[in-house]
Amino acid sequence: MQWSLLLAAASVCGYLVYRHTGLPKVVGYSIVGMVAGLLGFNGALWPLQGIGLFMMELAIAVVLFDAGGRIPWRWFRHNPMVLVQSIAESALTYLAVYWIMLWLNVPREAAGPIALVAMAASPAVVARVVADTRAAGPVTDRAIVLSTLSTLYALTFGGAHAEMLSRPGSNFFEAIPPVLVMFGVSIVVGMLLSGFIRLALRYMSPASENTSILALALIAASTTVAAHLGGSAPLAALIGGMLIKQLHPRPWALPRQLGTASSVLNMLMFVLVSTVAAQADWTLTIASTVFALIAVRLLAKALGVGIGNIGSGASWRQALWVGAAMMPMSSIALLIASQFVTASPATGAIIASIALPTILLMEVFGAVIATVALYRAGETHKPWATLPSSQSGGESRES
């Protein structure tokens, strides 16, 4: 009952925020979750576990499967500098955040995991911003692709680092087998997911609601199997989406009939993230560390995209807005932080004390920054001032 009322309040708040300010609905969802967390709502446990963890992984899996299916691999062949931009911004973000954490006297064993959490942009928030602003163009496309790839790197290295944290007395080589198991299970589950969906698409229409239900059921099953066998459910879904793009070259994303179910999962995910993140304790030291991390992260992502901008076909101005559009952090970052806390409670407490406030701020203000970036890039469907009134009759046409 508490969650039902919380989601009802989030849906109303999200609509009102969008209707009267033009900001994406995720801002309203996050505000409701933040207020619930600050008021002591106990429906979300930390670290993530049980049904809360499953729902989070399922929502992330749906988002990443769709995001993976939108990555145009031909684009990388014709314009490899886009891949260079992705690697540069992720690597620079990790190094910059790692350095600033050490400079602020954060223990070395916690600085690396915090940098990995900061590496991950949020394709879920970016996709929600794009849908609500009806944005389209080179900045929008690059923001979606680069945020998805940063998620791939963060999940991969985050899972490996969590395995190493869970074995404090082991050396590097002793940690390799469980890491390989995690990668192997994720890859196999992702391949099976893409194979089953590809087989279904040979006999079922991509536009059918039955195909949508089948895809959602298979993603849910793969989430359960991957987690049970020691793999990463989000990583498996992302791999599955990327493979289905290659196996089924015709344009296809999760059909529109899946929109309502996907929207409910997304709303639950955003509310859960902000509810959990709001439970962190704020101190003056933590606040200064968080704001330093956010500033360095913004600068690193902008510089990383700019470094790879030469020969990429985009202007320097567009590179700046791409870096700004990648600022949101949400569910992926929270899931990685939860893995670190579970793997090592002592070190995880330090990681969570910095990561949770950062995630809370960047889910809300990151969405605002991304909206401003797409607006300033000139890729929104209408000027910001007319967005709310233009959508008064368009809610039913949302994806």
* pLDDT score for 113: 94
* pLDDT score for 280: 84
Res. 398 pLDDT band, cuts 50 70 90: very low
> Quick check: 28 pLDDT over 50?
yes
> Quick check: 73 pLDDT over 60?
yes
> Quick check: 316 pLDDT over 90?
no
Quote the percentage of the chain above a pLDDT of 90: 48
* pLDDT score for 248: 67
The DSSP line for 293-318 is HHHHHHHHHHHHHHHTTTTTT--HHH
* pLDDT score for 396: 39
At 105-150, the pLDDT tens digits run 999 999 999 999 999 999 999 999 998 888 888 889 899 999 999 9
Tokens matching residue 156: 């991969």
Distance spanning both ends of the chain, measured CA to CA: 27
Q: What is the pTM of this model?
A: 0.89
Mean pLDDT, residues 12-16: 94
> Quick check: 206 pLDDT over 80?
no
* pLDDT score for 251: 56
Quote the percentage of the chain above a pLDDT of 70: 89
* pLDDT score for 171: 59
* pLDDT score for 180: 84
pLDDT higher for 247 or 8? 8
> Quick check: 299 pLDDT over 90?
yes
- Give the position of tokens 């990648």: 326
* pLDDT score for 210: 85
> Quick check: 274 pLDDT over 70?
yes
* pLDDT score for 39: 86
- The answer to whether the beta carbons of residues 301 and 89 sit under 8 Å apart is yes
Res. 389 pLDDT band, cuts 50 70 90: very low
Res. 394 pLDDT band, cuts 50 70 90: very low
* pLDDT score for 9: 95
Q: What is the DSSP letter of 384?
A: G
* pLDDT score for 392: 43
Say which range, 21-35, 96-110, 244-258, has the weakest mean pLDDT: 244-258
> Quick check: 276 pLDDT over 80?
yes
Residues 6+ apart with CB under 8 A from 191: 239, 240, 243
At 287-297, the pLDDT tens digits run 999 999 999 99
> Quick check: 160 pLDDT over 50?
yes
C-alpha to C-alpha distances, 394 to 14, 265, 333, 371, 375, nearest whole angstrom: 15, 21, 32, 19, 20
Closest CA to 319 of 86, 23, 125: 86
Say which range, 61-65, 269-273, 313-317, 386-390, has the weakest mean pLDDT: 386-390
pLDDT higher for 249 or 93? 93
| CA gap 145, 71 in Å, rounded | 6
Across the chain, mean pLDDT equals: 86
- Give the position of tokens 């809610």: 395
> Quick check: 94 pLDDT over 60?
yes
Say which range, 174-178, 325-329, 337-341, 395-399, has the weakest mean pLDDT: 395-399
Res. 250 pLDDT band, cuts 50 70 90: low
Domain 9-383 sits in CATH at: 1.20.1530.20
Name the most confidently modeled range: 14-28, 161-175, 309-323.
Answer: 14-28
Tokens matching residue 105: 């006297």
C-alpha to C-alpha distances, 34 to 144, 271, 272, 390, nearest whole angstrom: 26, 8, 9, 29
Mean pLDDT, residues 162-170: 74
- Give the position of tokens 């809370």: 360
Alpha helix positions (H), 46-80: 50-68, 73-78
